[in-house]
Amino acid sequence: VNGEPCRDASRHIGPGDEVRLDEQPVIAVGARYLMLNKPLDYVCTEKDSHHPSVFELLPENWRTHLHIAGRLDADTTGLVLLTTDGDWSHRITSPNHAKAKRYHVSLAEPLGEADAEMLRNGIELKNEKNATRPAELTLTDPTHCQLMIREGKYHQVKRMFAAVGNRVITLHRDAIGSIGLDPELAPGSWRELSDAERHL
């Protein structure tokens, strides 16, 4: 540290200190914030015996300490946020902060207006104590819709449509809060978040 050997692990290192290890400079890396366009059949865990992991899409030296703020199932595509900042991740995922998540859904059967209204108002799900929070749902045609929810129960979107007798065919997330999936990101691609995006 500053040209002198240091054996005191409790020593405070400040921004003006020069640190070297084996004569190579050591540069502190701040928190990382990434968006990734998750392809189909990738999982949001580090290891899985049946599917590749989204972590495999990142450079190996970037994977350390990254965790996912809001996972997606293997059969769901789209926006995944990864970070090393636990507080920021909590603000994304905590039900208390109620960050909206926007999905594009294709359905097996046409969705009637009565069922759409039930989903908008909140619906009882099997094995859940409380109904879902009110959702925003816009039909783009009888079997396609845009859905915005502010919670993240287990398999929630699929279970919501199952509760009205329908089935999700494809599911794609393109926004979390004010962070939208970059249209330039091909499936499997990622980039760092801008300062503005981080402050959602």
pLDDT tens, residue by residue, 66-99: 999 989 999 999 999 999 999 999 988 887 887 9
Give residue for tokens 């899409």: 57
Find the catalytic residue in 41, 48, 73, 75.
Answer: 73
Is the pLDDT at 4 greater than 90? The verdict is: no
Domain that holds residue 79: 33-95+180-193
Cα–Cα distance, 156 to 162 (Å, whole number): 10
Mean pLDDT of 119-128: 94
Distance CA 148, CA 164 (A): 17
| pLDDT tens sequence across 40-75 | 999 998 877 789 999 999 988 888 789 999 899 999
Instruction: Mark whether 88 and 148 lie in a shared domain.
Output: no
Query: Same domain, yes or no, for 88 and 153?
Result: no
Residue 56 has, within 13 A of its CA and on its CB side, a CA count of 12
> Model confidence at 13, in pLDDT bands (50, 70, 90)?
confident
d(CA 25, CA 192): 24
Question: In terms of domains, do 86 and 151 share one?
Answer: no
Distance CA 200, CA 194 (A): 11
**Active-site annotation holds for 73:** yes
Q: What CATH number should be reported for the domain holding residue 127?
A: 3.30.70.1560
